[in-house]
């Protein structure tokens, strides 16, 4: 990863998914059912994609082995939720390779151990079932992930509100937009604390006179 890209991604860490989504023109929102696997998990990094056959995690092992430092592995397994395709062993392997998180449209397991290791995971579910390690899938090809087309090199951000994907060529523009949006929100908060209302500040339609609040 070049130094400029690293600097841009570092700036993302102070933001939140909802603000990034709005700043990106309300694009890139991943299916909200794919959520943090342990409370407080946050991830941010450059996407490396992987697609596995159902109930087989061989390709996740290959993804970890091939991942560059700073990568977030973004994967899917055909929607299979009865087996945990990622656990503590893959977590340790990923951390040793410098992988900074996993977003997986499928199930994971060993979540207590993973939480203790503070490795951020977003998944569709948790399951104690076991996977085989026999069948090939794809690595570093575009995938449809939680309703969003994700390509290797895009950036993914995850926090308490969910996941958002930012196209790599839009990263500069989205960061500029989110910084402008945060300044605007700070000004709104100051005015709310001074006694104004969201109806005034956001120029919202008034209630018709006959439905006005009773005094």
Average of pLDDT values for 92-106?
Answer: 98
Tell me the per-residue pLDDT of 186-209, one tens digit each, with 9 for 90 and over: 888 988 998 989 988 888 998 887
The pLDDT, as a whole number, for residue 26 is 95
Cα pseudo-dihedral 126, 124, 140, 88, rounded to 10: -20
Sort strands 162-166 and 121-126 into parallel, antiparallel or unpaired.
unpaired
Q: How many Å apart are CA 197 and CA 189, to the nearest integer? A: 10
Question: Which superfamily does 3-174 belong to?
Answer: Ribonuclease E inhibitor RraA/RraA-like (3.50.30.40)
Quote the pLDDT of residue 215. 43
Rounded CA separation 34/165 (Å): 13
CA separation for the pair 161, 42 (Å, rounded): 10
100 or 211, which is more confident? 100
Q: How confident is the prediction for the chain on average, in pLDDT?
A: 92
Specify whether the CB–CB gap between 134 and 108 falls below 8 A: no
Q: What pLDDT score does 211 carry? A: 61
Scan for tokens 């700073």, then name that residue: 70
CB 102 within 8 A of CB 122: yes
Instruction: Tokens for 135, please give them.
Output: 């069948």
Q: Give the largest Cα separation in the chain, rounded.
A: 71
């Amino acid at each position: 990863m070049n130094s400029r890209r690293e600097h841009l991604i570092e700036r993302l860490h102070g933001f939140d998914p909802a603000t990034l989504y709005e700043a990106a023109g309300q694009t890139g929102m991943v299916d909200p059912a794919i959520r943090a696997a342990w409370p407080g998990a946050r991830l941010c990094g450059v996407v490396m994609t992987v697609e596995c056959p159902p109930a087989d995690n061989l390709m996740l092992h290959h993804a970890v082995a091939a991942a560059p430092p700073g990568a977030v592995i973004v994967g899917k397994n055909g929607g299979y939720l009865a087996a945990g395709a990622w656990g503590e062993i893959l977590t340790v392997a990923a951390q040793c390779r410098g992988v900074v998180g996993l977003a997986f449209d499928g199930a994971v397991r060993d979540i207590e151990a993973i939480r203790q290791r503070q490795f951020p995971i977003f998944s569709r579910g948790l399951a104690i079932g076991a996977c085989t390690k026999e069948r090939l899938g794809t690595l570093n090809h575009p995938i449809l992930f939680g309703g969003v087309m994700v390509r290797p090199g895009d950036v993914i951000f995850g926090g308490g509100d969910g996941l958002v994907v930012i196209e790599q060529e839009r990263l500069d523009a989205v960061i500029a937009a989110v910084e402008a949006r945060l300044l605007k929100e700070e000004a709104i908060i100051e005015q709310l604390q001074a006694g104004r209302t969201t109806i005034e500040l956001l120029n919202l339609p008034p209630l018709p006179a006959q439905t006005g609040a009773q005094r």
